[in-house]
Amino acid sequence: MSNKNIINVSLANPRGFCAGVDRAIQIVRLALKKFGPPIYVRHEVVHNKYVIDELKNEGAVFVEEIEEIPRGSHVIFSAHGVSKLIKKKAKKYNLIPIDATCPLVTKVHTEVNQMYDKDYHIVLIGHAGHPEVEGTMGQIEQNSPNASMHLVQTIDDVNKLNISADKKISYVSQTTLSFDDTKNIIDSLKVKFPNIMGPKTSDICYATQNRQDVIKKLVLDHDLIIVVGSPNSSNSNRLVDIALQKGVDAFLIDDMKKFNPDCLKNKKKIGISAGASAPEILVQNLIKKIKEHSEVKLIELDGVKEKVIFKLPRF
Ligand code: SF4
């Protein structure tokens, strides 16, 4: 008889790839097939090391700056979207753009542009330095007395906003934030600016929302949550945050070589999820790792069936 401890492992559903990530990866592979390597991609097309390493092996070249790309090449814009300045630079360098921006990020860009054209002061709720935030902030090239763009990350930032409450004001948000944290910031914006306008539907995307909803259920009766995802994946980090905020142990992992079996000590019920950019193979590798140290009773949980599919661009 095995003397390994027995652990119940619940697999979250939905987990892993969303429609925007799936589309972005397909776009890189299609471009490689059609034009041959190298295909240049500005920024990691999706935030997952395993996916990026695979695409590099297939001939994709990831760069941060447009200036690094030989003139006349194809360039793919990542799922996080880009600023107008990046698009202009690509044109200046005679690059042929292929846009892998997730359509749900494009929706936010459209909201920003429409509001700016109607002379709104726009508040973006998001994390400074994230490429999606840079792309969305970069939809507005110049602030004017009538229309401007402001980033807030916390309620404290809202308190510091220097916009007169009698101006036209609206807000949008990054697509991959914590729904609850964002709601608190929106509530404080509404107190400070009673006339503020918001998007018709939340900018937080369906995939982020669904994965967060499952974690909120898992924390009720699991004593550890492991999220498969890379450190730079915003939506994956938010899943860990939610579990920690509820007082349940949680961590992020994308390299199973770094798996530390000590995390299993005294744990009876573990929940596993994966961020929207994490491939299923990493989840399966994690389960194998846990099985090396414990006897695993695996349960695939029921959940919302995601049917969203985004059309591929023509190129
Ligand atoms: S997480 Fe949401 S916004 Fe980001 S690529 Fe996926 S569907 Fe699009």
CA angle 310, 37, 84 (to 5 degrees): 50
Q: Whose CA is nearest to atom 8 of ligand 1?
A: 20
Pocket test for ligand 1, best of 15, 17, 21 (most atoms within 8 A of CB): 21
Q: Which of 235, 304, 310 to mutate to test the pocket of ligand 1 (most atoms within 8 A of CB)?
A: 235
Which of 132, 280, 292, 306 is flagged as catalytic? 132
236-288 pLDDT per residue, tens:
999 999 999 999 999 999 999 999 999 999 999 999 999 999 999 999 999 99
The C-alpha angle with vertex 229 and arms to 233 and 299, in degrees rounded to 5, equals 140
With pLDDT > 90 as the criterion, what percentage of the chain qualifies?
97
The whole-number pLDDT of residue 4 equals 82
Residue 1 has pLDDT above 60, yes or no: no
Ligand 1 atom 7 nearest Cα:
20
Three-state secondary-structure class, residue 164: coil
Going by alpha carbons, the residue nearest to atom 6 of ligand 1 is 20
Residue-wise pLDDT tens digits, 49-105: 999 999 999 999 999 999 999 999 999 999 999 999 999 999 999 999 999 999 999
Interval between CA 104 and ligand 1 midpoint (Å): 7
Which strands make up the sheet holding 269-274, listed edge to edge? 249-253, 224-228, 269-274, 5-11, 294-300
Q: Can you give the pTM of this predicted structure?
A: 0.96
Q: Which two tokens stand for residue 110?
A: 């459209």
Q: Mean pLDDT over residues 285-311, rounded?
A: 97
In this structure, which amino acid lies at residue 261? P
Instruction: Assign 252 to helix, strand or coil.
Output: strand
Q: Which pLDDT score, from 0 to 100, does residue 155 have? A: 97
- For residue 2 the two structure tokens come to 């095995």
Structural domains in the chain? 5-17+205-300 (3.40.1010.20), 19-102 (3.40.50.11270), 104-192 (3.40.1010.20)
Distances (CA, A) of 158 to 139, 186, 262: 21, 9, 41
132 a catalytic residue: yes
153 Cβ neighbours under 8 A, 6+ residues apart: 125, 126, 127, 128
Structure tokens at 196: 């503020």
Mean pLDDT of the chain: 97
| Pocket mutation for ligand 1, best pick of 27, 130, 176 (most atoms within 8 Å of C-beta) | 176
Residue 47 has pLDDT above 70, yes or no: yes
**3-class SS of residue 161:** coil
103 CA to centre of ligand 1 in angstroms = 8
Tokens coding 121: 């002061």
CB 120 within 8 A of CB 168: yes
**Ligand 1 atom with least separation from CA of 176:** 1
**pLDDT value of residue 2:** 63
Q: Are 86 and 315 in contact (CB under 8 A)?
A: no
Q: How far is CA 163 from the centre of its chain?
A: 29
* DSSP secondary structure string for all residues of 216-229: HHHTTT-SEEEEE-
Please give the share of the chain, as a percent, with pLDDT higher than 70. 99
284: Cβ contacts below 8 Å, ≥ 6 apart: none
